[in-house]
Chains A and B, each alone.
Chain A
Amino acid sequence: MKKSTFLVFTMPSFIMMTLFIALPLLIVLIQSFQFNQDVLETIERENCDPFGCKTETITVPVLDENGNKIKNNIWVGFQNYKNILKFEQLSSVISNDGFEWSKIRSIDFYKALRFTLTFTFITLPFVIILGLILALCVNVLINRLKGPIIFITLLPFIITPVIGALSIKWLFIGDGILTLFLENILDKDIALFSQGWTIEILMLFYRVWHTIPFAFVIFYAGLQTVDKEKIEAAFVDGANRLQRLRFIIIPHIMPLIVFVALIHLMDSYRVFDEIVGFSASGFRISLQWMTYDFLRIDDSGTRSIGRASATSVLTMIGIIIILIPVLRRTFKEQKEKKL
């Protein structure tokens, strides 16, 4: 294909990605070194409400002639990063009392980082192994059953994540039926939403439940392309089922396992819907939730754009570090294809 033709074909996509992904990234990077402030003034204001009148000295934003807030971006260097990473507090914790996780955890960023990483890496093996087992099982079913079973299997994946999380939450919150069921079995009072680790387990469970179908459908598709002759040959050679799985099937779908792992790492690293769905923010927060929280307008009507941007940049660096091995592999692979 000629270069000019190629450019015509890819231009719309290229423009969209530049304008709506690359440019925002640049904006985020700039914002992370700034405070986005309202210009403020201190005034006296008389305020009469049902409880009486009083005159207060208060600090309020200056409004322009159209009555809009005047915004001011101040360069503050790494201040936003310092506010999030809190190195001083961190080093004092480490130097004074030895390494104490509970104190580090009181800094939101590390709390969020810890949860995000645990979440990402603990769910990964479950998703891959269970997805593979399921794919192998469905693959040997009789054809008439395959359709309905695949249909049921796909449901947890397509359901709106927030709603899915809620549907699981209702089974467990307060005296939800599964909580009562557990209480009956274990014969003690259980409150799953009263401490962090139980909520965390529920969130992990939810994510595995939600992602297994994706892994399943990819693996199942891969199993359809396994070379039948190879398997037959192995069968003739006397390889048992497990050996055939290990030496023929798994190597065949290895690229798919990598693919699922890659997508899963990317998706679970941005864990967010679970925190909303399980109302878990009092106990567990994730990096993306932190950004979201900074972006929300607080009672005083402002957003913490600076800290949101700094968290975003840190989040971004995190995912790139995690993906380096995969990126390098893809890089090489694609390069070889080209040369």
Chain B
Amino acid sequence: MESKLFNLTTPLKIIVSITIITWCIIALFPLLWIVVMSIKLPVDSFASNPLKVIIGPSTKEQVGGLSFVNFIFLFLSIYLFYKLYQIRKILFDLINPILKFSLITFFILFILYITISFILFFLIQNNLSEFVNILFSNLEFLKIFSYPIIGFTPQHYLSVWVGNEFYKQFLNTMIVTGGVVTISLTVGTLAGYGLARSNSMIAFWLLIFALIFRALPHSVLVTGYLEPFINYGLYGKKIAVIVLLVAINQPFTIWMLRSFFMNIPQDLDEAAQIDGCNPFQAFWKVVMPLMWPGVITTGLFSFLLAYNDYLVAALLLDGQSQTMVPAIMQYFNMETKMTDLVESIAAAASITAPLFLLVMFFQKQIVSGLTQGAVKG
């Protein structure tokens, strides 16, 4: 019955395919393009002929490029990664019983995958394929496969991460983001649970006010903080930004977590309390284990907010404490040469990589989390 119901007529099929293909191109193109630009010499990156930007003739001539062999290895490592990615559920079930706390397992798996992707791309891709390349170029009949097809230079990434010590800003961002996610979720789950289980007027007004707070432009809050923060020496301290972002994020977090908690039957914690748990034990031992899709979905939104923030960090952090997004904007301000500009682009492209992995990893959770929870509240 169902299959018949969802069978599409041919014109509809065409419309659907066209819509999706068009959207995918629009969604991907700007992002792919900055990646392409970032691996070319400035002469090629800013060439007016798009083919030149993609193929990069000058880059190929001056630095070298990716050969057929490199591409084979590239696809191989992507395929390998994809295969590993597919078995993440099995890995999860393997590790989880040992740790007994799914959030931590998830985190460990995530780190593991980041490491694996690094190894795949930097070691196998870079060195192994280079080795084969050299091998091939010495063999008469295989030589052709080692000729560069597309110009490629990692020099901009190297000068960003090594030369300009971008990892410092990366660490700052990680500290800020980590702090925001942890504190947001801790404070938010408690409040979300309280709000979901209470019928009092205070709870009602708290929610209404949170909704209004959610609407406030961030600059309004920064205006209020700035003077006191500077007077009390909090300017340039990461903790100031963390606290601020947690507060900014709090309304959304409690609304979202509340609706997740509402989906967990109240009988459950009541039963636990009858069995002798105090409310906190009931919350921690009975309700929380059921909450992790909700926590992950909400945590992801907190992560995005903190990781992507420009306004707050730009106004409050500086120098050694600077995070990545303001640092990149500053790269653009420092550019006085074309090379600087391509370096900024490389920096911009590299901060999207963690986000990329994050979505890859949590995509299912986002959709299922939203299906279960937030969308009903």
A and B: direct contact (Cβ < 8 Å)?
yes
Q: Interface of A with B (CB < 8 Å)?
A: 1-3, 5-10, 12-14, 16-17, 19-21, 23-28, 31, 36, 133-134, 137-138, 140-141, 147, 149-156, 158-164, 166-168, 170-171, 175, 177, 180-181, 209, 212-213, 217-218, 220-222, 224-225, 228, 231-232, 235, 241, 255-256, 259, 265-266, 269-270, 272-273, 276, 287-288, 291-292, 295-296, 303, 305, 308-309, 312-313, 315-316, 319-320, 323, 327, 330-331, 334-335, 338
B360 contacts A by Cβ under 8 Å: yes
Q: B218 contacts A270, CB within 8 Å?
A: yes
Q: B194 contacts A10, CB within 8 Å?
A: yes
Chain A residues near B211 (CB-CB < 8 A): 327, 330
With A16-B187, A291-B220 already in contact, the answer to whether A231 and B228 are too (CB < 8 A) is no
Q: A156 contacts B27, CB within 8 Å?
A: yes
Q: A170 contacts B219, CB within 8 Å?
A: no
Contact of B194 among A1, A160, A272 (CB under 8 A): A1
Chain A residues near B355 (CB-CB < 8 A): 158-160
Q: CB-CB contacts of B107-129 with A at 8 A, as 1s and 0s?
A: 00000000000000000000000
With A21-B213, A288-B219, A338-B204 already in contact, the answer to whether A160 and B198 are too (CB < 8 A) is no
Q: A13 contacts B190, CB within 8 Å?
A: yes
Whole-angstrom distance between the alpha carbons of A228 and B344 in the complex?
50
Whole-angstrom distance between the alpha carbons of A266 and B315 in the complex?
22
Chain A residues near B280 (CB-CB < 8 A): 8
With A149-B20, A228-B2 already in contact, the answer to whether A160 and B325 are too (CB < 8 A) is yes
Q: CB-CB contacts of B206-235 with A at 8 A, as 1s and 0s?
A: 111111111111111111111110000000
A114 vs chain B, min Cβ distance (A): 17
Q: A13 contacts B359, CB within 8 Å?
A: no
With A10-B195, A21-B216, A221-B370 already in contact, the answer to whether A160 and B208 are too (CB < 8 A) is no
| B214-260 at interface with A (beta carbon < 8 Å) | 214-228, 243-244, 246-248, 250-251, 254
In terms of DSSP, what is the predominant structure of the interface of chain B? helix
Chain A residues near B336 (CB-CB < 8 A): none
| B125-176 at interface with A (beta carbon < 8 Å) | none
Q: A288 contacts B218, CB within 8 Å?
A: yes
Chain A residues near B217 (CB-CB < 8 A): 269-270, 272, 287-288, 291, 312, 315-316, 319
With A13-B254, A14-B191, A21-B247 already in contact, the answer to whether A160 and B307 are too (CB < 8 A) is yes
Whole-angstrom distance between the alpha carbons of A163 and B218 in the complex?
19
B8 contacts A by Cβ under 8 Å: yes
Q: B222 contacts A221, CB within 8 Å?
A: no
Q: A312 contacts B220, CB within 8 Å?
A: yes
B69 contacts A by Cβ under 8 Å: no
9 tightest CB-CB pairs across the interface, nearest first? A24-B224, A9-B194, A20-B247, A13-B191, A270-B217, A221-B370, A291-B219, A221-B371, A312-B220
Q: B221 contacts A134, CB within 8 Å?
A: no
Q: B208 contacts A331, CB within 8 Å?
A: yes
Chain A residues near B345 (CB-CB < 8 A): 170
Q: B2 contacts A25, CB within 8 Å?
A: no
B195 vs chain A, min Cβ distance (A): 7
Chain B residues near A151 (CB-CB < 8 A): 359-360, 363
Q: Interface of B with A (CB < 8 Å)?
A: 1-2, 5-6, 8, 12, 16, 19-20, 23-24, 26-31, 33-34, 37, 48, 50, 53, 186-188, 190-191, 193-195, 197-204, 206-228, 243-244, 246-248, 250-251, 254, 279-280, 283, 304, 307-308, 310-311, 315, 325, 328-329, 332, 345, 348, 351-352, 355-356, 358-360, 363, 366-368, 370-371, 374-376
Q: B254 contacts A167, CB within 8 Å?
A: no
Q: B208 contacts A334, CB within 8 Å?
A: yes
Whole-angstrom distance between the alpha carbons of A211 and B224 in the complex?
29
Chain A residues near B216 (CB-CB < 8 A): 21, 25, 316, 319
A237 vs chain B, min Cβ distance (A): 13
Q: B1 contacts A232, CB within 8 Å?
A: yes
Chain A residues near B311 (CB-CB < 8 A): 272-273, 288, 292
Q: B250 contacts A159, CB within 8 Å?
A: no
Whole-angstrom distance between the alpha carbons of A97 and B139 in the complex?
83
B352's closest neighbor in chain A, by CB? A159
Whole-angstrom distance between the alpha carbons of A235 and B7 in the complex?
12
Chain A residues near B186 (CB-CB < 8 A): 12
Which of B199, B216, B279 has the largest count of A CB atoms less than 10 A from its CB? B216
Contact of B227 among A6, A26, A241, A305 (CB under 8 A): A305
Whole-angstrom distance between the alpha carbons of A305 and B230 in the complex?
13
Whole-angstrom distance between the alpha carbons of A52 and B375 in the complex?
70
B5's closest neighbor in chain A, by CB? A235
Chain B residues near A212 (CB-CB < 8 A): 23
Whole-angstrom distance between the alpha carbons of A86 and B146 in the complex?
69
User: Given contacts A13-B188, A138-B20, A221-B368, could you give 13 more A-B pairs where the C-beta distance is less than 8 Å?
Assistant: A6-B198, A14-B206, A20-B247, A24-B225, A137-B19, A217-B370, A218-B375, A231-B5, A276-B310, A288-B311, A291-B220, A312-B223, A320-B212
With A151-B360, A312-B217 already in contact, the answer to whether A166 and B348 are too (CB < 8 A) is yes
B240 vs chain A, min Cβ distance (A): 10
Chain B residues near A175 (CB-CB < 8 A): 48
Whole-angstrom distance between the alpha carbons of A170 and B30 in the complex?
9
Q: A220 contacts B19, CB within 8 Å?
A: no
